[in-house]
């Protein structure tokens, strides 16, 4: 199974280093679970003046990177708050159901189109506060790594 993080915008600075550190750790640990890779796909922000057009352009670009049959997870401040074990168990379930990929979607400032939202298998939040997308990506990759350590029995996760 592939793990894909598809995000609107590019990371710069310290967030890039932190995200890449957790991406590499997750990819390495995930190999024991049959994960082929942990990939980041950055989608350029739309330059359209109209917010509705920006939302549509960004949603189309995100939808185009979702493999057929993938589980789609939207990062949404109104989503479910999963603990680390619940997050890990959900990834294990999708892997057990032979999903080819799990795609985590981090949208832009103008949210996502209803058609893309309808593709979601799950919506998750890291609390109710709105966080900068750069931090959300780092937090997501840290949780993917933590999930891999839980599923492999690695001592990194101590509940």
- CATH of 2-152 among 2.40.50.90, 3.40.50.720, 3.40.1280.10, 2.30.40.10: 3.40.1280.10
Task: Tell me, letter by letter, the H, E, C secondary structure of 36-98.
Answer: CEEEEEEECCCCCCCHHHHHHHHHHHHHCCCCCCCEEEEEEEEEECCCHHHHHHHHHHHHHCC
What are 6-53's pLDDT values in tens digits? Answer: 999 999 888 999 999 999 999 999 999 999 999 999 999 999 999 999
Q: What pLDDT sits at residue 157? A: 63
What are 74-86's pLDDT values in tens digits? Answer: 998 889 999 999 9
What are 104-146's pLDDT values in tens digits? Answer: 999 988 789 999 999 999 999 988 777 888 889 999 999 999 9
Q: What pLDDT sits at residue 80? A: 92
What are 85-112's pLDDT values in tens digits? Answer: 999 999 999 999 999 999 999 998 878 9
């Amino acid at each position: 199974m592939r793990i894909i993080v598809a995000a609107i915008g590019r990371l710069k600075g310290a967030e890039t280093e932190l995200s890449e550190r957790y991406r590499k750790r997750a990819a390495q640990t995930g190999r024991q679970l049959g994960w082929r890779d942990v990939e980041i796909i950055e989608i350029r922000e739309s330059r359209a003046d109209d917010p509705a057009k920006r939302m549509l352009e960004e949603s189309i670009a995100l939808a185009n990177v979702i493999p057929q049959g993938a589980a789609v997870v939207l990062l949404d401040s109104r989503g479910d708050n999963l603990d680390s074990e619940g997050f890990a168990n959900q990834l294990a379930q999708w892997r057990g159901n032979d999903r080819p990929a799990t795609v985590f979607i981090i949208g832009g400032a103008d949210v996502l189109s209803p058609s893309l939202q309808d593709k979601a298998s799950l919506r998750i939040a890291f609390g109710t506060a709105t966080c900068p997308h750069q931090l959300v990506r780092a937090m997501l990759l840290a949780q993917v790594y933590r999930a891999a350590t839980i599923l492999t029995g690695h001592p990194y996760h101590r509940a």
